[in-house]
């Protein structure tokens, strides 16, 4: 019988009572692995109430002691890395090595959060006026919430709750219902690390749970990562209900290949970035823009044998480059986009449709696909495919190559491959995209910088993690103080100035 997931509220695993459930698949087998309870608004409310009850005492814990909980949580995740990676792979489909990378990138944000005593320090000015000092402090918002996608079930939750709880907030996490096992396990480990009951809660669910979070008066801030249409909805709904919201959306990241690029390195980087994790990454590199037909011809010539070498396998195969996609429905969506590309006139150099893995014919596998001569008017170029599909475009000039990502509806990440430092510098300065890689195919910043795109890739004014994360999960209080020294007070009816 399949396992059943409930929720984690007030420090305890609790079964769902809405009567609604979703299926959690093992994508390698194409079989239902577990059922997950889908929370009602009443269950979300119970999680928020638990978080609200726990938050004042947690905020009163000094930052150094909160940091010690984060240190212990990090140690426990590392100690359970193999178990967590296997669980993640079973439910998502990414290979175990990539699952460990998912966990490790999340842990890097937890490491950053361990520095919270320093990160929460305010400012102080002595003598800002006659016998007047001014200082500021950063204080937690209260209850924060996170809504996370299926493609990084460990990293993105840790991006959110790691910073939020270190700042003294309590947290309600609504992970993807497609792979809920790891988020629930992380909540258990946080409790084991010394986190108080109710500080970190997990509710599984679908749109009903999302709407309950966005409209709940007890939640002060919501962080979201997912598709752009849903991100826009989350931002509009959450802000309309008085919440601070950051909502990260979709992407269509470009890799610009200049004629002087180290083509061997560029091809290796592009293949890994385009097909790793079956392309199910918001920072994947699904578009390569070659400057000049000669560059494009050489690029295709070298890409084909490298793509042919890719091994698609089950998630536990140590030799597989990538595993299955998350669901059968998602595989069908990707295959529809491949057919759409053919219908639109792109040249299908390699077709990954119809791929079957011997012994695992029911798994949600799809082989690598490669298009050449993709043009900006094609819908397959405008949309995010989110699968193992690489599209090659041809630009006559560097100017044209810069315009393509700059004018695209998404602005998450972009990369340029070149040996020319001046060209790279100008590109980084001018391109209308939030994160830039120079000879780096997946420009995800380290945890002490911030992550965030532009245009329809992000809604809201603050990025994920880094110092932007601290700002998002706190508000500033500024105190102006004067201590009397025994003299007669002087009345004044004008606004104080520094004159």
254 DSSP β-pair partners: 287, 414
CA distance 302 to 294: 12
Q: What is the DSSP letter of 51?
A: H
Task: For Cα atoms 81, 86, 92, give the angle at the middle one, nearest 5 degrees.
Answer: 120
For residue 165, give every residue at least 6 positions away whose Cβ sits within 8 Å of its Cβ, in sequence order, or none: 58, 66, 70, 113, 171, 190, 195, 199, 200
Closest CA to 171 of 154, 152, 190: 190
Q: Which structure tokens are listed for 468?
A: 């932007």
CA atoms within 13 A on the CB side of 245: 25
DSSP structure string for 102-159 = HHHHHHHHHHHHTTHHHHT---EEEEEETTEEEEEEEEE-SEEEEE--SS-TTHHHHH
| Domains of the chain in sequence order | 3-249+457-479 (3.40.605.10), 254-438 (3.40.309.10)
Reference 226, options 174, 273, 186; nearest CA is 174
Secondary-structure breakdown of the chain: helix, strand, coil percentages, each rounded to the nearest 5: 40, 25, 35
d(CA 170, CA 200): 6
Residues belonging to the active site: 282
Cβ neighbours for 361, distance < 8 A, ≥ 6 positions apart: none
Burial status of residue 272 (CB atoms within 10 A of its CB: 0-12, 13-18, 19 or more):
middle
What lies within 8 Å, CB to CB, of 120 at 6+ separation is 63, 138, 167, 470, 474
Q: Counting beta carbons within 10 angstroms of the beta carbon of residue 193, is it exposed (0 to 12), middle (13 to 18) or buried (19 or more)?
A: middle
Q: Model's pTM, two decimal places?
A: 0.95
DSSP 322: B
Tell me, what's the pLDDT at 1? Answer: 43
pLDDT in tens, the chain (499 residues): 468 999 999 999 999 999 999 999 999 999 999 999 999 999 999 999 999 999 999 999 999 999 999 999 999 999 999 999 999 999 999 999 999 999 999 999 999 999 999 999 999 999 998 889 999 999 999 999 999 999 999 999 999 999 999 999 999 999 999 999 999 999 999 999 999 999 999 999 999 999 999 999 999 999 999 999 999 999 999 999 999 999 999 999 999 999 999 999 999 999 999 999 999 999 999 999 999 999 999 999 999 999 999 999 999 999 999 999 999 999 999 999 999 999 999 999 999 999 999 999 999 999 999 999 999 999 999 999 999 999 999 999 999 999 999 999 999 999 999 999 999 999 999 999 999 999 999 999 999 999 999 999 999 999 999 999 999 999 999 999 998 877 666 777 777 776 6
CA distance 208 to 230: 14
- Pairing mode, if any, of strands 221-225 and 244-248? parallel
Predicted confidence at residue 489, as pLDDT, reads 66
pLDDT for 112 equals: 97
In 120-275, alpha helices (H) = 155-166, 181-192, 207-215, 228-240, 263-275
């Amino acid at each position: 019988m399949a396992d059943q997931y409930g929720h984690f509220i007030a420090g305890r695993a609790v079964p769902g009572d809405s009567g609604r459930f979703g299926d959690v698949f093992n994508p390698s087998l194409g079989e239902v692995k577990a059922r997950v309870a889908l929370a009602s608004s009443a269950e979300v409310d119970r999680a928020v109430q638990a978080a609200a009850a726990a938050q004042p005492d947690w905020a009163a814990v000094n930052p150094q002691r909160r940091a010690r909980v984060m240190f212990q949580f990090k140690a426990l995740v590392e100690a359970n890395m193999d178990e967590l990676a296997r669980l993640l792979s079973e439910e998502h489909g990414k290979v175990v090595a990539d699952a460990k990378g998912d966990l490790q990138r999340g842990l890097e944000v937890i490491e950053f959060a361990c520095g919270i005593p320093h990160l929460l320090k305010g400012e102080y000015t002595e003598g800002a006026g006659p016998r007047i000092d001014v200082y500021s402090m950063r204080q937690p918002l209260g209850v924060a919430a996170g809504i996370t996608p299926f493609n990084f079930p460990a990293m993105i939750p840790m991006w959110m709750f790691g910073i939020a709880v270190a700042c003294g907030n309590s947290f309600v996490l609504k992970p993807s219902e497609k792979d809920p096992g790891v988020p629930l396990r992380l909540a258990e480990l946080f409790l084991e690390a010394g986190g108080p009951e109710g500080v970190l809660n997990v509710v599984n669910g679908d749109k009903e749970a999302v709407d309950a979070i966005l409209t709940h008066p007890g939640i002060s801030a919501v962080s979201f990562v997912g598709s752009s249409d849903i991100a826009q909805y989350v931002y509009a709904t959450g802000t309309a209900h008085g919440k601070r919201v950051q909502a990260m959306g979709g992407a269509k990241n470009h890799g610009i290949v200049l004629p002087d690029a180290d083509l061997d390195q560029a091809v290796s980087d592009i293949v890994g970035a385009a097909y790793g994790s079956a392309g199910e990454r918001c920072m994947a590199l699904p578009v390569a823009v070659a400057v000049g037909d000669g560059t494009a011809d050489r690029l295709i010539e070298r890409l084909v044998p490298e793509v042919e070498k890719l091994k698609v396998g089950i998630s536990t195969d140590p030799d597989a480059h990538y595993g299955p996609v998350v669901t059968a429905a998602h595989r069908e969506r990707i295959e529809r986009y491949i057919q759409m590309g053919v219908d639109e006139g792109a040249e299908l150099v390699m077709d990954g449709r119809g791929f079957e893995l011997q012994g695992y014919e029911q798994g949600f596998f799809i082989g690598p696909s490669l298009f050449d001569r993709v043009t900006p008017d094609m819908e397959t170029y405008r949309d995010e495919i989110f699968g193992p599909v690489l599209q090659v475009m041809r630009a006559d000039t560097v100017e044209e190559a810069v315009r393509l990502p700059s004018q695209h509806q998404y602005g998450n990440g972009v990369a340029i491959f070149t040996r020319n430092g001046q060209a790279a510098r100008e590109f980084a300065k001018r391109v209308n995209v939030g994160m830039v890689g120079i000879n780096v195919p997946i420009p995800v910043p380290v945890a002490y910088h911030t992550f965030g795109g532009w245009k329809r890739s992000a809604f809201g004014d603050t990025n994920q993690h880094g110092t932007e994360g601290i700002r998002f999960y706190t508000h500033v209080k500024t105190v102006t103080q004067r201590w009397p020294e025994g003299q007669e007070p002087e009345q004044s009816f004008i606004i104080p100035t520094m004159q």
